[in-house]
Amino acid sequence: MILQAKQLVKYIIYLSSASMYFQAETLEEMLNGFRIKNETNQITGLMLFSEGSFLQLLEGAEHVLDALIKKIRKDKRHHSVVQIATGTIPNRIFSDWHMCFKVALPAEFKDLKGYLDPWNPEILNKLRSEEHPELGILKAFAQNSRLI
């Protein structure tokens, strides 16, 4: 019997702006479709939405996420897709969620965007000193919001 090494999980975090106004029902319909596709493709993650902005963390196989981020960039429902971080981790953070979702309060979302801003000198220093700090921030947010 040949033992295979445990594969690392790739993650991508990106921000984008909605191209249109989304009502709660529209977002829920979209999410249901995303969850079905994500389950099929073994993608997990978190999507936050606030005042027309999306912040999303995706976890999955590298080739699957690489193809997905290309589709996301072409999706007309949003624009200005900015990839904040990418990397690999030994275990999924949102292993039970094919797409955890929360409409974040504007103040919560602003704080998260500020913490994840790659041009912020404090964040640059943190990125140098800590492995995957952006994941820790999102995980803490999800735990505080009782999502995980």
Tens of pLDDT along the chain (148 residues) come to: 444 456 889 999 998 999 998 887 888 888 888 889 999 999 998 888 888 888 889 999 999 999 999 999 999 999 999 888 899 989 888 888 877 777 776 666 566 555 555 445 554 454 444 556 566 666 665 665 555 5
Structure tokens at 21: 């106004």
Q: Give the Cα separation of 105 and 2 in Å (integer).
A: 50
pLDDT at 73: 95
- Tell me, what amino acid is at 62? E
Write the DSSP string, 26-85. Answer: HHHHHHHHHHHHHHHHT-EEEEEEETTEEEEEEEE-HHHHHHHHHHHHH-TTEEEEEEEE
Compute the distance between CA of residue 23 and CA of residue 4 in angstroms, rounded to an integer.
Answer: 46
pTM: 0.73
pLDDT of residue 3: 43
Q: What dihedral do alpha carbons 26, 27, 33, 38 form, nearest 10°?
A: 170
Ordered structural domains, the chain, with CATH: 9-144 (3.30.70.100)
Distance CA 128, CA 82 (A): 20
